Structure 1
Amino acid sequence: MAAAWWIWRSTSATTTEPKPLSLNVLLPLPVLLLLLPSVFPIAKETLFAASLFPYLGFLWFLTRSKQTPRLALIGFYALLVFVAVTIPAGIYAKTAYGANLADVDWLHGGAESLLTLSNILVVLGFRQGLIDRRSLPASQI
């Protein structure tokens, strides 16, 4: 989300030269995320659900920046489809088989194929963006 905010901010009409994010702000984040479950007894399902909000913020900033290649943006949105399919598949695996989604191969494989598809779209989108950027004259870069 921070990267998407940075892209959006750098294209904002109100700023002329954006300041880079300080590493002092970004470096403690992974440590805090690792310590969070031990400090607050939070279930992994709760963290999974809560992670949707930063991701929606990431998509909002990325979409507003208008600098992300279209196919990559579609790939990032396709990740929401993966999440939307994974949740009911996990519930079905628990109720029908009494197992976690990861233990029901045909459900897990189907859900993971959506994740693979979204990753492929993101990679192909950024690949196309790089190709398009290389074809521009140096004065437009």
Structure 2
Amino acid sequence: MTKETLFALSLFPYLGFLWFLTRTRQTPRLALIGFYMTLVFVAVTIPAGIYAQVVYGKELANVDALHGGAEFFLTLSNILVVLGFRQAILQTRSPANSTIDPSQDVSE
């Protein structure tokens, strides 16, 4: 099996992951957007890889400008996932969502 075939087949489990993640409605919205941005990364990487091969005769990883541009979308998706889960954690820890009385000193 070639790496291209494996890459194409790997999209199906990821689409299933996104479907379940979206369906649960428990995933923070910003994190969910980040996971969907990974598809944008894939959509940008494929044509960039083809362009690198046709124009430069090299793999995408060896054409820095194209590779960096494509990797930007992966970085952006990772940042959105982290910020989304960070926001959810902070909301969970906020006093408004807490069942503990903040006036009580827990060190006693």
Please report the TM-score for the alignment, with normalisation by the length of structure 1. Answer: 0.68
Equivalent position to 1:138, from 90, 93, 99: 99
Kindly provide the CA deviation profile for residues 49-88 of structure 1, in whole angstroms up to 9, marking residues without a partner as x. Answer: 1000000000000000000000000000000000000000
Deviation at 1:134, TM superposition (A): 1.2
Please, which runs of 5 or more residues in structure 2 have no aligned partner? Answer: 101-108
- Once the two structures are superposed, the pairs formed by residues 23-42 of structure 1 within 5 Å of their partners are 42=1
- Once the two structures are superposed, the pairs formed by residues 73-92 of structure 1 within 5 Å of their partners are 73-92=32-51
Where does residue 88 of structure 2 map in the other structure? 129
Where does residue 69 of structure 2 map in the other structure? 110
* Paired AA for residue 54 in structure 1: P
Distance in structure 1 (CA, Å) of the matches to 2:35 and 2:64: 25
Deviation at 1:133, TM superposition (A): 1.1
* Paired AA for residue 36 in structure 2: Y
Kindly provide the CA deviation profile for residues 5-40 of structure 1, in whole angstroms up to 9, marking residues without a partner as x. Answer: xxxxxxxxxxxxxxxxxxxxxxxxxxxxxxxxxxxx
Distance in structure 2 (CA, Å) of the matches to 1:116 and 1:69: 18
Where does residue 47 of structure 1 map in the other structure? 6
Partner-residue secondary structure (3-state), 1:51 = helix
Q: How many equivalent residue pairs?
A: 98
Residue 56 (str. 1) matches residue 38 (str. 2): no
Where does residue 55 of structure 2 map in the other structure? 96
4+ residue runs over 3 A deviation: none
The sequence identity of aligned pairs, in percent, is: 74
Distance in structure 1 (CA, Å) of the matches to 2:75 and 2:21: 21
Return the index of the structure with the highest Cα Rg: 2
Please report the TM-score for the alignment, with normalisation by the length of structure 2. Answer: 0.88
What RMSD, in angstroms, separates the aligned Cα atoms of the two structures? 1.0
Where does residue 72 of structure 1 map in the other structure? 31
